[in-house]
Structure 1
Amino acid sequence: MSKRAQPRIYNRAGQRVQVKDKTWYALQASGEAAERVFEVFVYGEIGAWGITANQFVQDLRAMDDGVSPVIAAFNSIGGDLFDGLAMHNALSRLGERCTGRIDALAASAASVAVCGAHKVVIAANAMLMIHNPWTYAAGDAEDFRKVADVLDQTMEAIIAAYKAKAPDIDEVELRRLVAAETWLTANEAVALGLADEVGDGVKVKACLGQGGVLQRYQHAPADLLAQLDEPPEPDPELEPDDPLPAPPVVDSAKLALMITQRCAEAGISNLVAPLLSSTQLESEEIVQAGLTRAKAVNDLCVAARLPELSAEYVEAGLDAAAVRARLFDKIVGSGKGFEIDNSLPLDNDPAPKVLAKQPDPPSIWAARQAAQGGHPQSAKGVRP
């Protein structure tokens, strides 16, 4: 009888959880040595906000034995393009023993990554989305010209990744589809050559787990977005005439102690007060969700090097998607450069700020002195 190894699970918080709908990254091996299959689950964003290419490659290398089949399962809205390209190349190096599997969605950078697999199987009701690279930027006109050049170069990398999977695809048509942000059904992806086989369908809503983030995109299918608003399914164990269960008695002291202890264990004791405020200790379920959200928010703020904002965001009850939008705005507003990211902003994101160059008084004073026939060297450090 085959023995199944325990999966190796990772997230930015370091918390060990089972592979469920919203788990974003896991590795596991199944079967005896002679029949072993390695599975990598990428369920979430790619890049600094989720699973980085470095972590993906290092973990895969540590588990891979060099001969067993590898299945890379994707359910991802995308993310950082360069991390997606690195994943693409890592899967490509595995050769014929690598199969990419699209369980629900491979969008943006995730579509680039999965196309590195020798064989791609897409679930009957899954989708693959391709679009132009997108980025935030700040600076003067010359800075923006450089950014545009970089975007043009990264577009060529995207096209090359897709053509590596589908060498016979018409390049003109491919570029048109990419520019139009095209959502491909399973059959359409196979017809284009970006997937090789249509597999069994799965319930998209059950495994998507990335809700409102899909609203970042301009042309997300209406039926896919509609699933986000569907009410929860009724409990089949409750008959229509059964009386509703009595509301549980809330032990506020116990819940407050839970918050204090869990925050201490996670190293976020500074978020105890914001959590007490945002959850109002209404129920254990709300507190548990608040703790999970607070850890995710804290990790995002730390990753953005703005940890001082975590308490404010937790107290406001913001979810991870809303925090990402605000952190992107903070980073852009700082004028510290740009990064190529294939994930688009939410519709309600504030417009990125364009910063002008700040005046340099010593240089202005030196220029004035030179124009008047003076000696600009002597003006160093002197203010007008």
Structure 2
Amino acid sequence: MSKKARPRIYNRAGQRVPVQDKTWYALQASGDAAERVIEVFVYGEIGGWGITANQFVQDLRAMDDGASPVIAAFNSIGGDLFDGLAMHNALSRLGERCTGRIDALAASAASVAVCGAHRVVIASNAMLMIHNPWTYAAGDAEDFRKVADVLDQTMEAIIAAYKAKAPDIDEVELRRLVANETWLTASEAVALGLADEVGDGVKVKACLGQGAVLQRYQHVPAELLAQLDEPAETESDLEPDDPPLTPTVVDSAKLALMITQRCAEAGISNLVDSLLSSTKLENEEVVQAELARATAVNDLCVAARLPEFSAEFVAAGLDVAAVRARLFDKIVTSGKGFEIDNSLPLDDDPAPKVQAKQIDQPSIWSARQAAQAGKSRSATGARR
């Protein structure tokens, strides 16, 4: 089985470009046909903002030959509980040929997902975190009663997932640990039966760029939070065979043309001015990164049915996480509703997601009446 290499990105001049967003998801197969091993790397948030269960299942199905061993490697803060349950069930269906591997962290929904594997190996310096389901909610008292009922039901789904992996676990103790947001070391996870073996320790950056989200939890171990303050990779950290990062001559006109053409191809020409402002036409690497960010921001705004804010967000230099927060804040004023999320809140988390806006029939009727009255006045004036 081949070792997963650290990703490298080079520009056209052969220069190494530091990777900014280290959240990634990959699936690969290695070895000859007789020794084929399928590896799935779930390194990132689970759910609509990251790795969806649909993507996970479809990719796995496309590569699975029904016989090769499957290793599902996790380093995830968690996310959407129901996606985590779907991943759990997908791994469970693989039977004895499936191994779950916790490379650094399997928290929240990720802990549910990895427990679907027949055998779970947790690195000696990794952790597994379990906690109660959590959600945003808005509405009247009856709405909140319904939300509480749903949370109780999802709690039972979580308990069932853990007990499927550890049938001999004491349920009273399990519920206590879940309620207290418990961070389990490798040996503790094995002792409870949620993991089967302690593997070799590996150094993996906390959640690959999503470490800040760890702050939403209440009892995060200090050593994990400390990783958030580690400096980013510098030129001195590059491997010996990496080409040196040498300065290049910037062709501003060429970069401006690139932005215009790429935006036209992506259907986001309305963002050209914002990109010219945010990139300052510094260099091609910055432009490429900003184009990718602008596309992601625009996709989020379109999905939220608020495309009019995409230019503003791009010009402000907001990253995807910040845009999500602002979209949540804007959507919450349009109605009410709730959505289950197996994550705890940050102090400055936005208000809850809500249902789509309802049709305002009185306003539509008034607008039509006003338009009809205007036509009548115009016709009267014409006759005079």
Flag whether TM exceeds 0.5 (same fold).
Answer: yes
Is the contact between residue 105 and residue 207 of structure 2 (CA under 8 Å) also seen in structure 1?
no
Aligned residue number for residue 334 of structure 2 = 334
Please state how far the C-alpha of 1:336 moved relative to its aligned partner: 4.4
Aligned residue number for residue 69 of structure 1 = 69
Is the contact between residue 278 and residue 315 of structure 2 (CA under 8 Å) also seen in structure 1?
yes
Deviations 1:319-357 (A, max 9, x none): 1221222223333332242111112333222455999xx
Structure 2 counterpart of 1:86, which letter? A
Is the contact between residue 333 and residue 352 of structure 1 (CA under 8 Å) also seen in structure 2?
no
Structure 1 counterpart of 2:277, which letter? S
Structure 1 counterpart of 2:171, which letter? E
Please state how far the C-alpha of 1:245 moved relative to its aligned partner: 8.6
Structure 2 counterpart of 1:149, which letter? D
Identity of aligned residues (%): 88
Aligned residue number for residue 312 of structure 2 = 312
Aligned residue number for residue 16 of structure 1 = none
CA distance in 1, matches of 2:302, 2:185: 37
CA distance in 2, matches of 1:70, 1:32: 15
The 5 Å alignment of 1:70-149 reads 70-149=70-149
Is the contact between residue 250 and residue 282 of structure 2 (CA under 8 Å) also seen in structure 1?
yes
Aligned residue number for residue 162 of structure 2 = 162
Please state how far the C-alpha of 1:206 moved relative to its aligned partner: 7.2
CA distance in 1, matches of 2:336, 2:199: 45
Structure 2 counterpart of 1:79, which letter? G
Please state how far the C-alpha of 1:203 moved relative to its aligned partner: 1.6
SS in 1 for 2:28: strand
TM-score (norm 1): 0.79
Is the contact between residue 3 and residue 32 of structure 1 (CA under 8 Å) also seen in structure 2?
no
Aligned residue number for residue 213 of structure 2 = 213
Seen in structure 2, the aligned counterparts of structure 1 residues 191 and 260 have a Cα distance that, compared at 3 Å, is farther
Is 1:46–2:46 an aligned residue pair?
yes
SS in 1 for 2:167: coil
Please state how far the C-alpha of 1:249 moved relative to its aligned partner: 4.1
Is 1:195–2:195 an aligned residue pair?
yes
CA distance in 2, matches of 1:21, 1:329: 24
Please state how far the C-alpha of 1:89 moved relative to its aligned partner: 0.6
CA distance in 2, matches of 1:245, 1:66: 45
CA distance in 2, matches of 1:287, 1:144: 46
Deviations 1:154-205 (A, max 9, x none): 0110111111111122222211221122222222222221111122222222
Aligned residue number for residue 31 of structure 2 = 31
CA distance in 2, matches of 1:76, 1:265: 34
Aligned residue number for residue 253 of structure 1 = 253
SS in 1 for 2:340: coil
Is the contact between residue 88 and residue 114 of structure 1 (CA under 8 Å) also seen in structure 2?
yes
SS in 1 for 2:341: coil
CA distance in 1, matches of 2:301, 2:295: 10
Is the contact between residue 76 and residue 105 of structure 1 (CA under 8 Å) also seen in structure 2?
yes
Please state how far the C-alpha of 1:22 moved relative to its aligned partner: 2.2
CA distance in 2, matches of 1:114, 1:284: 40
Q: Relative to structure 2, which stretch is displaced further, 312-321 or 215-224?
A: 215-224
CA distance in 1, matches of 2:109, 2:197: 21
CA distance in 2, matches of 1:354, 1:300: 15
The 5 Å alignment of 1:227-266 reads 227-232=227-232, 235-236=235-236, 248-266=248-266
CA distance in 2, matches of 1:3, 1:121: 18
Is the contact between residue 75 and residue 102 of structure 1 (CA under 8 Å) also seen in structure 2?
yes
Please state how far the C-alpha of 1:58 moved relative to its aligned partner: 2.0
CA distance in 2, matches of 1:44, 1:325: 18
Please state how far the C-alpha of 1:226 moved relative to its aligned partner: 1.8
Deviations 1:239-288 (A, max 9, x none): xxxxx998654332232223223333434333222222222223334333
Please state how far the C-alpha of 1:3 moved relative to its aligned partner: 10
Is the contact between residue 336 and residue 354 of structure 2 (CA under 8 Å) also seen in structure 1?
no
Q: Relative to structure 2, which stretch is displaced further, 220-229 or 158-167?
A: 220-229
Seen in structure 2, the aligned counterparts of structure 1 residues 306 and 200 have a Cα distance that, compared at 3 Å, is farther
Please state how far the C-alpha of 1:306 moved relative to its aligned partner: 2.9
CA distance in 1, matches of 2:263, 2:125: 40
Q: Relative to structure 2, which stretch is displaced further, 270-279 or 137-146?
A: 270-279
Is the contact between residue 331 and residue 353 of structure 2 (CA under 8 Å) also seen in structure 1?
no
Seen in structure 2, the aligned counterparts of structure 1 residues 30 and 256 have a Cα distance that, compared at 3 Å, is same
CA distance in 2, matches of 1:49, 1:98: 26
Q: Relative to structure 2, which stretch is displaced further, 319-328 or 162-171?
A: 319-328
Aligned residue number for residue 9 of structure 2 = none
CA distance in 2, matches of 1:166, 1:274: 53
Report the count of equivalent residues: 338
Q: Relative to structure 2, which stretch is displaced further, 228-237 or 61-70?
A: 228-237
Residue ranges of structure 2 left out of the alignment (5+ in a row): 4-18, 239-243, 363-384
Aligned residue number for residue 296 of structure 1 = 296
Residue ranges of structure 1 left out of the alignment (5+ in a row): 5-18, 239-243, 363-384
Q: Relative to structure 2, which stretch is displaced further, 155-164 or 23-32?
A: 23-32
Please state how far the C-alpha of 1:308 moved relative to its aligned partner: 2.9
